Amino acid sequence: MSNDEPGPGHNSVAGDQLKAFCERIERLEEEKRAIADDIKDVYKEAVGNGFDGKVLKKVIALRAMDKDDRDHLLSTTDLYMHALGLI
Amino acid sequence: MSNDEPGPGHNSVAGDQLKAFCERIERLEEEKRAIADDIKDVYKEAVGNGFDGKVLKKVIALRAMDKDDRDHLLSTTDLYMHALGLI
Amino acid sequence: MSNDEPGPGHNSVAGDQLKAFCERIERLEEEKRAIADDIKDVYKEAVGNGFDGKVLKKVIALRAMDKDDRDHLLSTTDLYMHALGLI
Amino acid sequence: MSNDEPGPGHNSVAGDQLKAFCERIERLEEEKRAIADDIKDVYKEAVGNGFDGKVLKKVIALRAMDKDDRDHLLSTTDLYMHALGLI
DNA sequence: CACTGGAAAATGCCGC
DNA sequence: GCGGCATTTTCCAGTG
């Protein structure tokens, strides 16, 4: 070992620091996972109430956009669908 | 529509329910995003302290596995790498 | 090892087989990557001709669906957007 | 309509161009899908011959890296795993 | 400002 | 048939 200190073991400082980082990240990831599960539950509840989960997700994405972007997206999509005879 | 009340519009009940689901999901997604940002910050801090972020992520994934799976994975990987002359 | 021949090393049979599998997969992945690049190029060409790449991708997905699914998706989306005042 | 020509319909030029782009992309995507299926088949064959598919995928990724990156990755991972007592 | 790499989301697949 | 997992795809940030 590269030093003479008593202590818990080799490279203990960096090792402890590494472990601390791992634990902080793991804790946060656990929280994130819990929220992701909550989101899934809400989708399930919505589906259970007769809503279409896939469409629900789409409209939430549309709500997140600013109005101009959303209007452009919708009108261009419409235009292309007509040109292709999809509508 | 199922009632005769004056009101904000047709299908207001289902519309309100839909809006409520959207808002619950949006709120949770906001929380999730905040935690994801925290995770990124911790990674940055670790990198700032000299750790390799990519490797850190890998070892966190290994820590999440149960011991048997991890040992099997590591030893099999080693075996294949030797067979291929990668090591 | 299962024979007495001099040779490149231990476990050469399994090692050769492993290497062969790797090479077959790598070859196919290379082909796949080349086609993915071609697809990107076509999108770029379309954008260069004034089309909106994102919308183009959306309508291609719609074309891939069968008519009933597509009609249901479009009408439900419309319904939800109206209910939310997005349209 | 902005012209008086007989013809298949409004905006037929852009519409035809759009359709042509769609068809080119769809054709390429079909090819890509076929190759992806081939890759899956090879993995299945490898697994049928006793190899571990997940590990196989990992070593293929390692083979794709250049030697210096790979060596650094492997040694750093080892270092961290020891520091964390995973090995 | 295009481009690469990496994170997040969406889709599809498989086992239960 | 459905939930969980893996792959794929999409998005975004960092970088040259």
pLDDT digits (tens, 9 = 90+) for D45-79: 999 999 999 999 999 999 999 898 899 999 999 99
Please give the C-alpha separations between residue C13 and each of A79, C1, C19, D47, D57, in angstroms, as whole numbers: 60, 9, 10, 16, 20
Could you tell me the pTM of the whole model? 0.89
CB pairs under 8 A between A and C: 39
- Of the pLDDT bands very low, low, confident and very high (cuts 50, 70, 90), residue A13 is confident
Q: What is the pLDDT of residues A16-73, one digit of tens each?
A: 999 999 999 999 999 999 999 999 999 999 999 999 999 999 999 999 999 999 999 9
CB A80, CB C56: distance < 8 Å: yes
pLDDT tens, residue by residue, D4-48: 556 555 667 899 999 999 999 999 999 999 999 999 999 999 999
What is the sign of the dihedral through the CA atoms of B51, B52, B57 and B59? negative
A44-51: long-range pairs with CB below 8 Å, 24+: A45/B21, A46/B21, A49/B17, A49/B21, A51/B18, A51/B21, A51/C80
Chains in contact with chain D (at least 3 beta-carbon pairs closer than 8 A): A, B, C
Residues of C in contact with A62 (CB under 8 A): 81, 86
Q: CA-to-CA distance for C32 and C66, rounded, in angstroms? A: 26
Instruction: Give the residue-averaged pLDDT of B75-79.
Output: 94
Distance from the first to the final alpha carbon of chain C: 72
CA distances in angstroms from A52 to B2, C73, C74, C77, D86, listed in the order given:
21, 9, 12, 9, 45
Instruction: Give residues with Cβ within 8 angstroms of C47, minimum separation 6.
Output: C53
For residue A65, the chain B residues in CB contact (below 8 A) are none
